[in-house]
Structure 1
Amino acid sequence: MDGIKYAVLTDKSIRLLGKNKYTFNIESRATKIGIKLSIELFFGVKVKDVNSHRLPAKSRRMGQTMRRVIITLQPGYSIQPLKKIKNFNQNT
């Protein structure tokens, strides 16, 4: 997925999961429309709303700043957690 770096798991983001809202960190150059399309195609859900804000810059970080995005899904949709892949080479 272009632009999306990783999902965020903080106290606030876990509380928002109950309201069908998911939090991701994205690259600073990604647009809201691009993020919406990426989420819909990758997870197979319908996105209702996209809210984003820039994270405060760290004094040691040089270059790109990150943005955090909170995505609200339409009722009836949810993103399932990724399942762990088992190692099938245990018998060798």
Structure 2
Amino acid sequence: MIEPSKVLKESRVTEKATNLTANLNQYTFEVFPDATRTQVKQAVEQVFKVDVAKVNVLNVKPRVRPDRMRRNRAGRVSGMKKAIVTLKEGSSIEMI
């Protein structure tokens, strides 16, 4: 069995993620770069005690954008791997 601490980093709480949670019963997590769909599914089921219907995984590429604190010199926003987990009907996760 895998350790959930080796798969899940944190939950993403953004406006879009909150909208997905309210309307489609989907939750967004930042995961480690070498995590697979099945590992994410097992980790969410183990940590939150819910039934997972589907997992979508996407890599967010790093990008360059102006850094306002350094007079608009180029700064870098790091990339990450993100998982959008769809739960089965009747399941939900309590986010604090």
TM class by smaller structure: 0.7 to 0.9
Pairs within 5 Å for 1:43-58: 43-58=48-63
Specify which structure has the higher proportion of helix. Answer: 2
> CA shift at 1:14, angstroms?
0.6
Identity in percent = 31
Deviating beyond 2 angstroms after TM superposition, the runs of 4 or more aligned structure 1 residues are: 58-62
Instruction: State the match for 1:87 in structure 2.
Output: none
Instruction: State the match for 2:68 in structure 1.
Output: none
Tell me, in whole angstroms, the C-alpha distance in 2 between the residues paired with 1:61 and 1:3: 22
> CA shift at 1:80, angstroms?
1.0
For residues 81 and 61 of structure 1, do their structure 2 counterparts lie closer, same or farther at Cα, with a shift above 3 Å needed?
Answer: closer
Most deviating of 50-59 and 18-27: 50-59
Matched, 1:80 2:94: yes
Instruction: State the match for 1:10 in structure 2.
Output: 14
Instruction: Give the count of matched residue pairs.
Output: 80
Amino acid at match of 1:8: R
Matched, 1:71 2:71: no
TM-score by length of 2: 0.75
Unmatched tracts of structure 1, length 5 or more: 83-92
Aligned residues: CA RMSD: 1.7
> CA shift at 1:76, angstroms?
0.4
> CA shift at 1:61, angstroms?
6.9
Matched, 1:23 2:28: yes
